[in-house]
A and B are shown apart, each in its own frame.
Chain A
Amino acid sequence: MIDETTTVASHCEMGAGYRLLVLNAPGMAAETRPGQFVHVKVPTLEASALRRPFSVFDASGQDGTVTVLYKTVGRGTAALNTVKPGDAVQVEGPLGRGFPTECNGTALLVGGGYGVAPLHFLARRLRTKTTLFVGARTASDLLALDRFAALGVETKVATNDGSAGEKGFVTAPLDREIARLRGAGEAFELFTCGPDGLLKAVSERAVSLGVPGWISVDRHMVCGVGACFACIQRTVGGNARCCIDGPVFPAKELIWQ
Chain B
Amino acid sequence: MAIDTRVNLGGLEMATPLTTASGTFGYGTEYLGAVDYSCLGAATVKGVRMSPWPGNQMPRHVEVPGGLVNAIGLQGPGIDEFLSHYVPLYREKLCGLPMIVNIWGGSIEEYAEVAARLDAAAAAASGAFAVECNVSCPNVKAGGHTFGQDPEVLRCLVGEVRKATRLPLVVKLAPNVPDVRPYVRACEDGGADAISLINTIPAMVIDVEARRPVLANRTGGLSGRAVHPVAVKAVWDAARATSLPILAMGGVYEAKDALEFLLAGATAVAIGTAVFSNPGVVREVHDGIIDYCRRHGFDSVRELKGAMLQ
B277 contacts across to A, CB distance below 8 A: 41, 47-51
B279 at the interface (CB under 8 A from A): yes
Beta-carbon contact of B72 and A50 below 8 Å = no
Instruction: Judge whether B46 is part of the interface by a CB distance below 8 angstroms.
Output: yes
B151 interface hit (Cβ, 8 Å): no
- Chain B residues with Cβ below 8 Å from A180 are none
Q: Are B33 and A2 in contact (CB under 8 A)?
A: yes
CB 8 Å contact bits of B53-65 with A (1 = contact, 0 = none): 0110011110100
**B111 within 8 A of partner (CB):** no
- Closest A residue by C-beta to B77: A238
Shortest CB–CB separation between residue A94 and chain B, in angstroms? 11
With both beta carbons as reference points, the residue of chain A lying nearest to B62 in the complex is identified as A220
Q: Which residues of B contact A139 (CB under 8 A)?
A: none
Interface residues on B, range: 20 to 34
Q: Are B68 and A222 in contact (CB under 8 A)?
A: yes
Tell me whether A132 is interfacial, beta carbon within 8 Å: no
B24 contacts chain A at the CB level, 8 A cutoff: yes
Interface centre among A226, A232, A244 (most CB of B within 10 A): A232
Q: Report how far A90 CA is from B24 CA in the complex, Å.
A: 20
Does A236 make an interface contact (CB < 8 A)? no
User: Which one of B23, B34, B61 contacts A220 once the chains associate, using CB atoms below 8 Å?
Assistant: B61
Nearest CB in chain B to that of A238: its residue: B54
Q: Are B33 and A230 in contact (CB under 8 A)?
A: no
**Are A228's CB and B34's CB within 8 A?**
no
B276-298 near A? 1/0 per residue, CB < 8 Å: 11111000000000000000000
Residues B60 and A50 in contact, CB atoms below 8 Å apart = no
Known contacts A50-B276, A230-B72; decide if A225 and B24 are in contact (CB<8 Å).
no
- In the complex, whether A3 has a CB less than 8 A from a CB of chain B is yes
Q: Is the interface of B mostly helix, strand, loop or mixed?
A: loop
**Residue in B68, B276, B280 whose Cβ sees the most chain A Cβ within 10 Å:** B276
- Smallest Cβ-Cβ distance to A1: which chain B residue: B33
Whole-angstrom CA separation of A11 from B253 in the bound complex:
30
What are the residues of chain A within 8 A of B278 when measuring CB–CB? 41, 47, 90
- Distance in angstroms from B40 CB to nearest chain A CB is 14
- For residues 47 through 65 of chain A, which have their beta carbon under 8 Å from a beta carbon of chain B? 47-51
- B31, A225: Cβ atoms closer than 8 Å: yes
Q: Does A141 contact B (CB under 8 A)?
A: no
With A90-B278, A229-B60, A229-B75 in contact, do A239 and B31 touch (Cβ < 8 Å)? no
What's the dominant secondary structure at chain A's contact region?
A: loop
Q: Verify A92–B279 contact, CB threshold 8 A.
A: yes
**B190 to chain A: which residues have CB within 8 Å?**
none
Give how many A residues have a beta carbon under 8 Å from the other chain's beta carbons: 26
Nearest Cβ in chain B — how far from A197, in angstroms?
16
- Say whether, besides A49-B63, A92-B34, A229 and B55 are in contact (CB < 8 Å): yes
- Measured CB to CB, the closest approach of chain A to B219, in angstroms, equals 16
- Chain A residue numbers with a CB within 8 Å of B66 are 48
Partner of B72, one of A1, A49, A92, A229: A229
Given A3-B33, A3-B280, A47-B253, the answer on whether A228 and B26 have CB atoms closer than 8 Å is yes
Contacts of A228 in B (CB 8 A): 23-24, 26, 61, 70, 72, 276
Residues in B with CB closer than 8 Å to A49 are 63, 277
Given the known A-B contacts A229-B46, A229-B75, A239-B55, are A50 and B33 also in contact in the complex, defined by CB atoms under 8 Å?
no
Nearest A-chain residue to B226, judged by Cβ: A48
- Decide if A153 is an interface residue (CB 8 Å cutoff): no
Q: Does A156 contact B (CB under 8 A)?
A: no
Indicate if B30 sits at the interface (CB-CB under 8 A): yes
A239-B33 CB under 8 A given contacts A47-B278, A50-B68, A222-B276 = no
Q: Given A90-B278, A92-B279, are A230 and B60 also a contact pair (CB < 8 Å)?
A: yes
Q: Mark A1-37, 1 if CB is under 8 A from B, else 0.
A: 1110000000000000000000000000000000000
Q: Which 6 A-B pairs have the closest CB atoms?
A: A227-B26, A3-B34, A227-B30, A1-B33, A230-B61, A225-B30
Which residues of chain B have a CB within 8 Å of any CB of chain A? Answer: 23-26, 30-34, 46, 52, 54-55, 58-61, 63, 66-68, 70, 72, 75, 224-225, 253, 274-280
13 more CB-based (< 8 A) A-B contacts, given A1-B32, A228-B23: A1-B34, A2-B33, A48-B67, A48-B253, A48-B274, A48-B277, A50-B276, A51-B276, A225-B30, A227-B30, A228-B72, A229-B60, A244-B30
